[in-house]
Amino acid sequence: MADTKKHLLLVEDETPLREALAERLAEHGFEVQQAESGEKAIEQLAEFAFDIVITDLRLPGLDGTRVVEAALLRYPDIVCIIVTGYGTVKDAVEAIKRGATDFVTKPFQFDELLHALNSALEKRGLKAENAYLRSQLQERYKFEGLIGRSPAMRALFQLLETVSASASTILVTGETGTGKEVVARAIHHNSPRRAQRFVALNCGAIPETLLEAELFGHVRGAFTGAIGTRQGRLEQAHKGTLFMDEVGTMSPGMQMKLLRVLQEREFERIGDTHTTKVDVRVVAATNSDLQKMVAEGTFREDLFYRLNIIPIHLPPLRERKEDIPLLVQHFLKKFAVQDSSRIPNPESRIPEAKPLSMSQQAMRCLMAYPWPGNVRQLENAIERAVALSGGRTQIETSDLTPDIQQASHAAAAPDVNLPEGGIDFDRYIHRIEHDLIRRALEKTRGNKGQASKLLNLKRTTLVEKLKRLEPSTTDVLAHRSVPPKAGNL
């Protein structure tokens, strides 16, 4: 059976009083141990995780405040009750400021002590419970700035929790707007490096020569215009995290230089003969397929493996639609707040964000749309909708862009004339499927990746369907301009 008794340490130098109290406390269900001095109490605290300490303030040797200090240091949630004489109330108040729970003044009735004890325990229970509930609400579907409830996102939160602590290099992959940078920041803020800098460098936005200077810094006179010595991003990120975005765009020369940094954690500033050592955690990100680039010979294989120590892949939003309502709620709140703070009319009495909601119909459109620009595109769409919603409290379909508005139409089933003679259901569905895939491929000039986005399908699903559909291609294509007829299908 679980041990539900509360373990109590009673510290009191007057033996008769201590023994009498211990007996009464035991009668009330407490498991009591006694200490006759502060020193003894601290020893006992080191050996056992008590739930409660009741200590006299005046003790020979180490006094009660020291006992409380030692107890709280070891067990921040421990309940400490101080017993104090008439002259030491001020000291007891001081101890409470430092974390003791309550005090009783001598002489006291046993019930008085019991009351203080029970209400302290109750309070502690509530505190723990509230903290638990809050953490549930706050953390269940959130991790730093990341929101998500889909299995993929929840698995990601768990992974981030574990990998943040290490210093291993991480490679974050995913389409544009899936949150790669948010993930990189979340890793930094959850790592032991959080007090140091998070330095971001977008390798794609800078020409090669400048990229090298940005990354490594330079010494005075290293090149024309290098008037003084300048720290590179690597040095700026010392003890912290360096986020290297769009690593797939790096030239072969830069790839080699980065490889050395990752292997040796050392480099030379441009124009410097001296080698600089750094302690940097690298998080790299890319929306290109590095593995494919390795196969094609445009990305160094050894660098790929150096970066890909811990791979984190962010699935596109269309593959985790259950995250959309939560993200919508989050962005509605974000932009409603910004919107109300922009209201120029000083007479407007809008003390806080207006409660904004999404009509069910608009939500259906948002759920049906394939979001090629992922979360960023969704965020922009909500910002626009909030701006267009004016003073309304609900966002309507008309506040969305036309392509998003049409998404739910596209998702609706086409009107089917069901002829008297009936149809061949399987062949009919097969044909619609084939027709849609053919049109998507035509529209994207045969690009299966883009076609799968248009159809809101995983690429692998599209490829599978294509394989299944292929044998009857000629058959169906031959009839494609003929409307489905009974008996013909």
Ligand X SMILES: Nc1ncnc2c1ncn2[C@@H]1O[C@H](COP(=O)(O)OP(=O)(O)OP(=O)(O)O)[C@@H](O)[C@H]1O
**Residue 177 contacts ligand X per CB under 6 A:** yes
Range 361-380, binding ligand X (CB under 6 A)? 375-376, 379
| Residues present in the chain in total | 489
Q: How far is the CB of 308 from ligand X (least distance, A)?
A: 17
Q: 12 or 175: whose CB is closer to Mg ion?
A: 175
Q: How far is the CB of 189 from ligand X (least distance, A)?
A: 14
376 binds, among Mg ion, ligand X, none (CB under 5 to 8 A by kind): ligand X
Q: 55 or 169: whose CB is closer to ligand X?
A: 169
Q: How far is the CB of 202 from ligand X (least distance, A)?
A: 8
Q: How far is the CB of 186 from Mg ion (least distance, A)?
A: 13
**What is the β-pairing status of strands 241-245 and 230-231?**
unpaired
What φ, ψ does residue 142 adopt, rounded to 5°? -140, 145
User: Using CB under 5 A, which of the segments 103-111, 149-157, 173-181, 440-448 binds Mg ion?
Assistant: 173-181
Q: Within a 13 Å sphere around the CA of 134, how many CA atoms are in the beta-carbon half?
A: 6
Q: For 303, left (φ over 0), alpha (ψ -120 to 50), or beta?
A: alpha
Please, which residues have CB within 8 angstroms of residue 455's CB and are 6 or more apart in sequence?
370, 436, 437, 440, 462
Q: How far is the CB of 195 from ligand X (least distance, A)?
A: 23
Q: Within a 13 Å sphere around the CA of 473, how many CA atoms are in the beta-carbon half?
A: 9
Among 38, 64, 179, 315, binds ligand X (CB under 6 A): 179
**Residue 283 contacts ligand X per CB under 6 A:** no
Q: 181 or 424: whose CB is closer to Mg ion?
A: 181
Q: How far is the CB of 315 from ligand X (least distance, A)?
A: 11
114 binds, among Mg ion, ligand X, none (CB under 5 to 8 A by kind): none
**Residue 174 contacts ligand X per CB under 6 A:** yes
**Residue 373 contacts Mg ion per CB under 5 A:** no
Q: 103 or 299: whose CB is closer to ligand X?
A: 299
What φ, ψ does residue 54 adopt, rounded to 5°? -115, 120
**Residues that contact Mg ion, how many (by CB under 5 A):** 1
User: Using CB under 5 A, which of the segments 22-30, 174-182, 186-194, 228-236 binds Mg ion?
Assistant: 174-182
Q: How far is the CB of 203 from ligand X (least distance, A)?
A: 12
Burial 140-162 (b: 16+ CB within 10 A, else e): ebbbbebbbbbeebeebbeebee
Burial 45-69 (b: 16+ CB within 10 A, else e): beeeebbbbbbbbebeebbbbbbbb
Residue nearest to ligand X (CB): 179
Q: How far is the CB of 137 from ligand X (least distance, A)?
A: 16
**Residue 149 contacts ligand X per CB under 6 A:** no
Among 31, 36, 39, 181, binds ligand X (CB under 6 A): 181
Q: 200 or 254: whose CB is closer to ligand X?
A: 200
Handedness of CA 252, 254, 255, 257 (dihedral sign): positive
What is d(CA 154, CA 150) in angstroms, rounded to the nearest whole number?
6
Burial 221-240 (b: 16+ CB within 10 A, else e): ebeeebeeebebbbbbbbeb
| Cβ count near 291 (within 10 Å) | 13
Q: In the chain, count of helices (H) and strands (E)?
A: 20, 18
Among 65, 84, 101, 178, binds ligand X (CB under 6 A): 178
- Smallest Cα–Cα separation from 201: which of 191, 215, 221? 215
Following CA atoms 182, 184, 186, 190 in sequence, which dihedral angle do they give, to the nearest 10 degrees?
Answer: -170
Residue nearest to Mg ion (CB): 181
DSSP class per residue in 340-406: HHH---TT----SPPP-EE-HHHHHHHHHS--TTHHHHHHHHHHHHHHHTTT-SEE-GGGS-HHHHH
Q: How far is the CB of 298 from Mg ion (least distance, A)?
A: 21
**Residue 63 contacts Mg ion per CB under 5 A:** no
Q: How far is the CB of 374 from ligand X (least distance, A)?
A: 7
What is d(CA 310, CA 342) in angstroms, rounded to the nearest whole number?
43
Q: Which two tokens stand for residue 199?
A: 């330095």
**Residue 287 contacts ligand X per CB under 6 A:** yes
61 binds, among ligand X, Mg ion, none (CB under 5 to 8 A by kind): none
377 binds, among ligand X, Mg ion, none (CB under 5 to 8 A by kind): none
What is d(CA 265, CA 208) in angstroms, rounded to the nearest whole number?
21
Q: 184 or 441: whose CB is closer to ligand X?
A: 184
Among 181, 268, 272, 383, binds Mg ion (CB under 5 A): 181
250 binds, among Mg ion, ligand X, none (CB under 5 to 8 A by kind): none
Cα-only R_g, the chain: 33
What is d(CA 48, CA 43) in angstroms, rounded to the nearest whole number?
9
Contacting positions for ligand X (CB under 6 A): 145-148, 174, 176-182, 287, 327, 375-376, 379
Contacting positions for Mg ion (CB under 5 A): 181
